[in-house]
Amino acid sequence: MEFLDNLALGFGVALSLQNLAYCFLGVLLGTLIGVLPGVGPLVTISMLLPITYGLSPVSSVIMLAGIYYGAQYGGSTTAILVNLPGETSSAVTCLDGYQMARKGRAGVALAIAALSSFVAGCIGTALIVGLGVPLAGWALRFGAEDYFALMLLGLVAASVLTHGDLMKALAMVVLGLLVGLVGTDVNSGAERYTFGLPELADGIGFTVLAVGIFAVSEVVSNLEQKERREIFTRNIGGLMPAWADIKASILPTLRGTAIGAFFGILPGTGPSISSFSAYMVEKRLARDPSRFGQGAIEGVASPEAANNAAAQTAFIPMLTLGIPGTATMALILGALVMNGVQPGPSVMTRSPELFWGVIASMFVGNAMLVALNLPLVGIWVRLLTIPYRWLFPAIILFCALGNYSLNNSAIDVYLCAAVGVLGYVFAKLKCPPAPLILGYVLGPMMEENVRRALLLSEGDLSIFVRSPISASLLVVSALLLVTMILPAIRRKKEQAYSEG
């Protein structure tokens, strides 16, 4: 009965007019930026962070979550019709989706992508419901030392599993931790790394860092690339798939959902590696693998299910443990912190309307996305004709206004621009920005838990190994680091990404 009461509470929150509006706005924006190549959920969420200051925590998370999973839906439209992924996670859909479009089956490909995404989204949300309560209940028994070890494991996992050089990812984590230290120490009142500048006494703002490292640097990076789009808009009609298409998609959708749900929970993986893995699994299970790349419907259903399931289940560690597994989750976690919500398992007990309201909104948002993606496909196609050079001035202006409006400070705008330039340099050096933002978000919480643990143990460091939970998590972190450094494991990891 408690379960039904929780769901009733969640739907009561999600179905309020205000939250319905923010959910619709989120999924609409998510679809829009998913369709437009070069404007991903990271850029959009970072741009909208200043707006969330004026919203309630539950409304802001409902809107930001809608943008995240909505982008996974929209990305498939671009992949199928333009052979260009709107989102990285939709890249693999290009292989068979575009070939289906060339054979006059664009409508069927779009419909299967939307339906498999819907099924995966609903199953992924149901998993949050099923796993959220026991995970949060388990985490409520954690001491300060256990939280520290859990956050450390999250950072290590996000670094070793992310795409790119391991040492660069770890260096970015350390840099993020250092940036998080800038400002005044709340315990001693001493200034740290401020270089005597009063503007840095309150630290580097989360929105300044997020907008600069993701939005501004992304705009600069995209301006370097030439726009070459060959939009396939013929024979889109016939959205209703035949029974044979649905039958051929059922098992791939379920397999893709399972793979996506698994990778979504793991830090550092997310929708991209999920869709690539799901595609490879389908290809290996197929009786005739040569059909893949030629318009196989399984090559659309499974990856689309996987990236949506991953997008949903990525909320499990974030909502129940307060551990963001990806940069997008770190941004949403940052929005919660900015709104005065202490993330972690206590959210479920202290703010049940937030936890269950966000979950219920995912069911509502997934239904909205099916209604938005199929009937409005003509509008999305026309949006693809917008040149990127028309979008970037608006993005930069929005970023500048957003940062300025928070404190009415021009310094924040300059600092954001400087961070953007730094982000562009990181992109050139192939240093992933996601570990940096994860280190920045988790750093202050790790510091707080280390201090609390040492206070309780009167400075005895052995407290971190006396607790079985903390010791186990530290051992797992060390093993993860060691195994990923081994050449054979490293080659396998690079092979998995390169196959995608």
Question: What's the Cα-to-Cα distance from 287 to each of 28, 100, 475, rounded to whole Å?
Answer: 39, 19, 42
* Long-range contacts, stretch 474-481, CB < 8 angstroms, 24+ apart: 474/149, 474/152, 474/153, 476/153, 477/149, 477/152, 477/153, 477/156, 477/157, 480/153, 480/156, 480/157, 480/160, 481/156, 481/160
Q: What is the chain's pLDDT, residue by residue, as a tens digit (500 residues)? A: 667 788 888 899 999 999 999 999 988 888 887 777 666 777 778 777 777 777 888 898 899 888 888 877 777 777 787 776 666 667 788 788 888 887 888 888 888 888 888 888 889 888 888 887 787 777 777 888 888 888 888 888 777 766 667 788 888 889 989 988 888 887 777 888 888 877 788 888 888 888 888 878 877 877 776 655 555 555 565 667 788 888 888 999 999 899 888 888 776 666 777 888 888 888 888 888 888 888 888 888 898 888 888 888 888 888 887 778 777 888 888 888 877 777 777 777 788 888 888 889 988 988 888 887 777 777 777 777 777 677 778 778 878 887 787 777 888 888 888 988 898 898 888 888 878 888 888 888 888 888 888 888 888 888 888 888 889 989 988 888 887 777 656 666 565 555 54
* Coil, strand or helix at 184: strand
**Alpha carbon distance 203, 335 (integer Å):** 16
Domain residue ranges in the chain: 1-225+234-499
Helix locations, 36-105, DSSP H: 41-52, 57-82, 93-102
